[in-house]
Amino acid sequence: DVKVTQSSRYLVKRTGEKVFLECVQDMDHENMFWYRQDPGLGLRLIYFSYDVKMKEKGDIPEGYSVSREKKERFSLILESASTNQTSMYLCASAFMRQGNIQYFGAGTRLSVL
């Protein structure tokens, strides 16, 4: 079974704090993704990575950055958290030769006060 682990299920931070969301997968997948999900807006892609040290902007990268120093780990960074970044954050990984099927972690519900 594919396992995608996100470091926290719930997180509460204050405006202006630097926030790190960690994601680890154990299936040697090349591709990893960060989404946020808000009611009525569906899944929105923030950043993705097709290889170590590679990153590509998704649809809503503003206010976020990412790091992929190792193949199994993909981190999402909120440089200065704002209240409009309160959301559910979902990490996914995929194996290109499996048709890029994405497997999701449990999600992190982030509240920025």
Partner 1 sequence: QKEVEQNSGPLSVPEGAIASLNCTYSDRGSQSFFWYRQYSGKSPELIMFIYSNGDKEDGRFTAQLNKASQYVSLLIRDSQPSDSATYLCAVRQGRDDKIIFGKGTRLHILP
Does position 106 bind partner 1 by CB under 8 A? yes
Q: How far apart are CA 29 and CA 98, in angstroms?
A: 10
Q: How far apart are CA 53 and CA 99, in angstroms?
A: 22
Does position 95 bind partner 1 by CB under 8 A? no
Q: How far apart are CA 38 and CA 18, in angstroms?
A: 21
Among 90, 93, 110, 112, contact with partner 1 (rule: CB under 8 A) = 90
Q: Using CB under 8 A, count the residues that bind partner 1.
A: 16
Q: State in angstroms the smallest separation of the CB of 101 from partner 1.
A: 6
Does position 34 bind partner 1 by CB under 8 A? no
Q: Which alpha helices (H) appear in 14-111, and where do they start and end? A: none
Chain mean position to CA 112: 17
Query: Using CB under 8 A as the criterion, which residues of the chain lie in contact with partner 1 when the complex forms?
Result: 40-43, 90, 94, 96, 99-107
